[in-house]
Structure 1
Amino acid sequence: MADLVLGLAKSAVEGTLTAAKSAIEEEEKLKKSMQRDLMLISDEFEMMNSFLNVAKERATDEMVRTLVRQVRNMALEVEDCIESAVLVDIKKSNWWRSLLLCRCMLAAAPAAPLDNAVSAIELLKSRVEAMGQRNERYMSIVRGSSSSSSSKPTEKTHRQAIADAAVVGILSEARDAKKKIGSPRDLTELINNIDASLPLQVISVWGAVGDLGVASIIKKTCDEPEICKNFRFRAWVKLMSPFNLHEFIRSLLAQFYTNYCPQQGSAVDFLEPAEVMIASQDVLIKEFMKRVSDQRYLVFLEDVPSAFDWEAVRVYLPDNKKGSCIVVHTQQLEVASLCVGQSHLVLELEQFSSDHSVFVFFNEAKKERSSQRDLLDLIKEGAVQTPLRIISVYKEVHRLKMASIIDKTCDEYPEICNKFKYRASVNLMNPFNYEDFIKNFLTQLCTNYCTQHGSADDFFKLKCMMTVTEGVLIKEFVKQALINQRYLVFLEHLPSKEQLEALKEFFPDNNNGSCIVVHTQQLEVARLCVGQAVHELSTDHSDGIFFNE
Structure 2
Amino acid sequence: MEATGLSVGKSVLGGALGYAKSTVAEEVALQLGITRDQAFIRDELEMMLSFLMAAHEEQDENKVVKTWVKQVRDVAYDVEDCLQDLAVRIGKPSWWCFLRTLVDRHCVATRMKELRAKVEDVSQRNVRYRLIKGTGPKPAKRAGPSSTSDATMFGIEETRRQKDRAKVDLSQLINEGNDDLRVIAVWGTSGLLGQTVVIKGEYNNLMRSKKFKLYAWIRIVHPFNPLDFLQCIMRQFYQTSLEEARKTQEITSIGAQVLKKIGVMKQDELVDAFTEYASEKSYLIVLNDLSTFEEWDWISKYFPNNKKGSRIIVSTEQGEVARLCVSQESVMSELKQSSVDQSIFAFYNKVNIY
Q: What's the TM-score once normalised by structure 1's chain length?
A: 0.33
Which protein, 1 or 2, shows the higher relative CO under an 8 Å CA cutoff with sep ≥ 6? 2
Q: What's the TM-score once normalised by structure 2's chain length?
A: 0.50
